Amino acid sequence: MGRLFWKFFLFVWLAQMVGVVATGTLFWLEHQHHDARPDASHRERMPPPHLPPPNDFRPPPPPEHRGPIIPYIHIAAGLFASLLCAAGLAWYIAKPIRHLREAFEAAAEGNLDLRIGQSMGRRRDELADLGQGFDRMSDHVRALMEGQKRLLHDVSHELRSPIARLHAAIGLARQQPARIDDSLLRIEREGERMNRLVGELLTLSRLEAGVGTHIDTLDLADLLGDLIEDTRFEATARHIAVDCPTLPDFTLRANAELLHRAIENVLRNGLRFSPEGGTLSIEARILENRHCLIAITDQGPGVPDDQLEAIFTPFFRGTNPGEGYGLGLAIARRVLAAVNGQIMAKNTPKGGLRVEITIPPGP
How far is residue 332 from each of residues 68, 133, 257, 265, 278, measured CA to CA in Å?
A: 87, 30, 12, 7, 25
Residue 67, pLDDT > 70, answer no
The distance of Cα 188 from the centroid of its chain, to the nearest Å, equals: 44
Q: What angle do CA 310, 311, 317 make, to 5 degrees?
A: 90
> Model confidence over 89-129: pLDDT tens digits?
878 888 888 888 888 999 888 888 888 888 887 878 888 88
Rounded-to-integer distance, Cα 109 and Cα 200, Å = 33
3-state secondary structure (DSSP) of residue 358: strand
Question: Worst-scoring range by mean pLDDT, 62-71, 102-111, 168-177?
Answer: 62-71
How far is residue 99 from each of residues 106, 111, 131, measured CA to CA in Å?
A: 11, 15, 9
Contact 320, 332 (CB under 8 A): no
pLDDT of residue 346: 92
Rounded-to-integer distance, Cα 74 and Cα 71, Å = 5
> Model confidence over 149-164: pLDDT tens digits?
887 887 887 788 888 8
Strand partners, 285: 293
Rounded-to-integer distance, Cα 363 and Cα 359, Å = 13
The residue among 328, 217, 213 whose CA lies nearest residue 268 is 328
> Model confidence over 75-97: pLDDT tens digits?
777 778 777 877 788 788 888 88
Neighbours of 219 (CB within 10 A): 14
> Model confidence over 194-253: pLDDT tens digits?
888 888 888 877 777 766 567 788 888 888 888 888 888 888 888 899 888 788 888 888
